């Protein structure tokens, strides 16, 4: 049986859990959906480190007041997920798929208090949503931010959330792998995901993944599962991605990405091989074709599809990107004016 990548928000009433099929032969480039078959102030709070730092029990005590349950009312029913407090101004972060289409959002704290929240903005390309509480509790406790980049495979991690509506549930495990790719709700690719064997289930969506010091290193988002439940393979969106996105959401309510308009794979002899070119895209306008192999971008060597996707992601819509392309045994230079990624 094929394992599916499953966004694991808990859906009640008439709502139905949606799954995402595994990635096919061609992985999605920075800007193109995978083929069918996936400023907010973020300064660190300098909370004193306990002498019991590293203890799961102590980390739980230090962070639980900053972990929340998200209840989203939609026309299709009620969805429940998890989230966490980002700052003292009352901003809360969760997954986009937890609040997608929400008419009303309620944030429940560990002490049982409920506060209504508005959706400041969402980004389906990274599955990140930013909420703002209608009132800020006097004792609000933002979580400290860590670094996913600094994690090593085998490092201990802790997940806190509301699986199956069981608020304040803590599970633990290790970093099983880094730099995994996930399929976003709008079928684009989320890069740099953290893989963990910490138990994650429906309702953990949007909750924090913490390192051994209790710092947020990621946001729990998907599981790979044959049964739809925890099989020991969970994924979290890295904190570096989240902070970039929420800054833009706070400023304008949306996030824009540079767009090339191709599907990519790794060429056998190195470089990024173009599998298809979307009609009317910047790539099509520049004359790129299926079968082309891109070996450099912006003067930097490209060793595969991931490298070209990252080169595009590092730029803004409207920027020009010079590509060195191999086609039918010859090499040519193509300059592409990057566009703005479509929403779907």
Q: Which residues are catalytic?
A: 97, 127, 205
Q: Do the beta carbons of residue 220 and residue 208 sit within 8 Å?
A: yes
* Cβ-proximal residues to 4 (8 Å cutoff; 6+ apart), any chain: 19, 20, 21, 22, 224, 225, 226, 228
DSSP-derived secondary structure letter, 16: -
State the Cα–Cα distance between residues 168 and 207, nearest whole angstrom: 10
Q: Do the beta carbons of residue 308 and residue 294 sit within 8 Å?
A: yes
CB-hemisphere CA count at 13 Å for 145?
16
SS3 content of the chain, % helix, strand, coil (to 5): 15, 40, 45
If we measure between CA atoms, which residue out of 156, 242, 145, 241 comes closest to residue 197?
156
């Amino acid at each position: 049986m094929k394992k599916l990548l499953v966004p694991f928000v808990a859906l009640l009433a008439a709502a139905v859990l949606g799954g995402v099929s595994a990635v096919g032969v061609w992985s999605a480039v920075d800007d193109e959906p995978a083929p069918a078959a996936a400023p907010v102030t973020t300064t660190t709070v300098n909370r004193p480190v306990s002498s019991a730092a590293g203890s799961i029990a102590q980390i739980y005590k230090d962070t639980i007041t900053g972990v929340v349950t998200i209840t989203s009312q939609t026309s299709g029913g009620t969805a429940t997920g998890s989230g966490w407090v980002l700052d003292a101004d009352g901003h809360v972060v969760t997954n986009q798929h937890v609040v997608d289409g929400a008419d009303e959002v309620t944030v429940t704290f560990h002490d049982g208090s409920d506060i209504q929240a508005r959706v400041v903005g969402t980004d389906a390309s990274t599955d990140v949503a930013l909420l703002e509480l209608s009132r800020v509790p006097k004792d609000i406790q933002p979580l400290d931010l860590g670094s996913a980049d600094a994690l090593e495979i085998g490092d201990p991690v802790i997940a806190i959330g509301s699986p199956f509506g069981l608020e304040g549930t803590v599970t633990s495990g290790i970093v099983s792998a880094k730099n995994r790719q996930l399929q976003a709700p709008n079928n684009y690719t989320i890069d740099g995901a953290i893989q963990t064997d910490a138990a994650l289930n429906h309702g953990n969506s949007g909750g924090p993944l913490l390192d051994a010091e209790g710092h947020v290193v990621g946001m729990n988002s998907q599981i790979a599962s044959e049964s739809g439940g925890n099989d020991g393979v969970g994924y979290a969106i890295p904190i570096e991605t989240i902070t970039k996105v929420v800054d833009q959401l706070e400023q304008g309510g949306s996030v824009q990405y540079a767009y090339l308009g191709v599907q990519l794979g790794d060429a056998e002899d190195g470089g990024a091989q173009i599998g298809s070119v979307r009609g009317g895209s910047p790539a099509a306008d520049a004359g790129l074709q299926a079968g082309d192999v891109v070996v450099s971008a912006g003067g930097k060597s490209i060793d595969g599809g991931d490298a070209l996707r990252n080169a595009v992601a590092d730029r803004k819509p409207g920027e020009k990107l010079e590509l060195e392309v191999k086609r039918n045994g010859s090499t040519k230079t193509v300059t592409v004016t990057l566009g703005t990624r479509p929403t779907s």
